[in-house]
Amino acid sequence: MRVLVTGAAGFIGYHTCIRLQSEGIFVVGLDNFSPYYSVDLKRDRVKELEKVGVHVVAQPVQNQTFLQTLVQKHEISHIIHLAAQAGVRYSLEDPRAYVESNIDGFLSVLETVRAYPHIVTVWASSSSVYGENKKIPFSEKDRTDSPANFYGATKKANELMAYAYHSLFKMKLIGLRFFTVYGPWGRPDMAYFSFADKIMKGEEIEVFGHGKLRRDFTYIDDIVDGICAAMNAPTAHDVFNLGNSHPESVLELVEVLESSLGRKAKLRLVDRPAGDIEETFADCSHAKEELGFDPKISLKEGIERFSDWFRSYHT
């Protein structure tokens, strides 16, 4: 097994590389070091990867010629495609970035694998594809044609692209719908990270939806378990939910952060912004049956692990 991880300097990419390398699997990473959030944090992740022997190449995944050369040079057997423009709210400001990264980038991966059809591809979709779905919990059998934001629309487009390429070229393509992933080395634009930063600085926190929004917070190690299992999925094409199946409110998240950081938060409750959805809740029965996916880390334990890292990283 020889694995290429795109988005290797990203949060999920970093942890995936670490896990694979720890299991003795050859890993090479690719990342464009997008300035969407702190490039310094991404470079710090890469320094940690380099320490354990994982090399990360600085190139955009849209560079198909380079991607094919990398695949051929390292005799890649699996691609874990995590490179993407993330963030719901930013898609209101710069939708073109989502087309370039999420649509064009995924097309580059698909065309590369079309040229090397032996490659197994595991790629990141998102819980955002469920959009305005009112049925709880979200199941892979539910309709996903009413996106609440443009980010979700691009991820739905990815699912359709994967289906078409599998149907046409019999490529093995496994999509994973991630639900609110958190943990050490996380993304600063995510609520738990920005809340921790402001709590430690004594700054006021804006809590959207007056704290009533509920998210299926899923710890990074559980997500990586699902990614690794998907590399050996029993089918050639499928989409799986990877969540904790236990949604909790944003106010509950704040309370756990206060406890783990040992400081009180200053809250300002505000309306839910455009594009945000009320609740995410994963039905993971399909992933459990086919992949053996069984998340184990509670929000309390996961936030305590994140907080320990957060304090050490910022001292």
| pLDDT tens for each residue of 79-112 | 999 999 998 888 989 999 999 999 999 999 999 9
Higher pLDDT, 315 or 67: 67
Which among 195, 167, 190 has a CA at the least distance from the CA of 89?
A: 190
Under the banding of pLDDT at 50, 70 and 90, the label for residue 271 is confident
Under the banding of pLDDT at 50, 70 and 90, the label for residue 280 is very high
Query: Per DSSP, what are the bridge partners of residue 125?
Result: 177
Q: Which of 151, 165, 182, 192 is catalytic?
A: 151
Across the range 52-76, mean pLDDT stands at 97
Residue 86 structure tokens = 């993330």
Under the banding of pLDDT at 50, 70 and 90, the label for residue 182 is very high
Under the banding of pLDDT at 50, 70 and 90, the label for residue 173 is very high
Q: Are 213 and 186 in contact (CB under 8 A)?
A: no
Amino acid in the structure at residue 176: L
CA-CA-CA-CA torsion sign (19, 298, 272, 176)? positive
Amino acid in the structure at residue 116: Y
Q: How far apart are CA 91 and CA 111, in angstroms?
A: 26
Higher pLDDT, 189 or 132: 189
Counting beta carbons within 10 angstroms of the beta carbon of residue 262, is it exposed (0 to 12), middle (13 to 18) or buried (19 or more)?
A: exposed
Across the range 243-251, mean pLDDT stands at 95
Which among 155, 159, 308 has a CA at the least distance from the CA of 239?
A: 159
Pick the range with the lowest mean pLDDT from 140-144, 204-208, 261-265: 204-208
pLDDT at 315: 78
Q: Are 16 and 82 in contact (CB under 8 A)?
A: yes
pLDDT at 212: 82
Q: How far apart are CA 20 and CA 17, in angstroms?
A: 5
Which among 275, 283, 144, 294 has a CA at the least distance from the CA of 213?
A: 275
Across the range 70-84, mean pLDDT stands at 98
Active site residue 151: yes
CB count in 10 Å sphere of residue 167: 10
pLDDT at 154: 97
Query: Per DSSP, what are the bridge partners of residue 175?
Result: 123, 239
Taking 90 as the threshold, does the pLDDT of residue 170 lie above it?
yes
Q: Which helix (H) or strand (E) holds 177?
A: strand 172-178
CA-CA-CA-CA torsion sign (164, 286, 99, 151)? positive
To which residue do tokens 């094919």 refer?
A: 68
Taking 90 as the threshold, does the pLDDT of residue 72 lie above it?
yes
Q: Radius of gyration over alpha carbons of the chain, in Å?
A: 19
pLDDT at 146: 92
pLDDT at 276: 74
Tell me, yes or no, if the pTM score tops 0.85. yes
pLDDT at 244: 97
Which among 73, 50, 91, 95 has a CA at the least distance from the CA of 4?
A: 73
Q: Are 127 and 241 in contact (CB under 8 A)?
A: yes
To which residue do tokens 């890292």 refer?
A: 309
pLDDT at 90: 87
Q: Which stretches of the chain are DSSP H helices?
A: 11-22, 39-51, 64-73, 90-93, 95-98, 105-115, 150-169, 191-201, 220-230, 250-261, 285-291, 299-313
Task: Decide: helix, strand or coil at residue 279.
Answer: strand
CA-CA-CA-CA torsion sign (118, 238, 6, 168)? positive
Q: Are 249 and 211 in contact (CB under 8 A)?
A: yes
Mean pLDDT, the chain, rounded, equals 96
pLDDT at 71: 98
Across the range 239-257, mean pLDDT stands at 96
Report the topology of domain 2-313.
Answer: Rossmann fold (3.40.50)
Q: Domain locations in the chain?
A: 2-313
Taking 80 as the threshold, does the pLDDT of residue 275 lie above it?
no
Across the range 191-203, mean pLDDT stands at 96
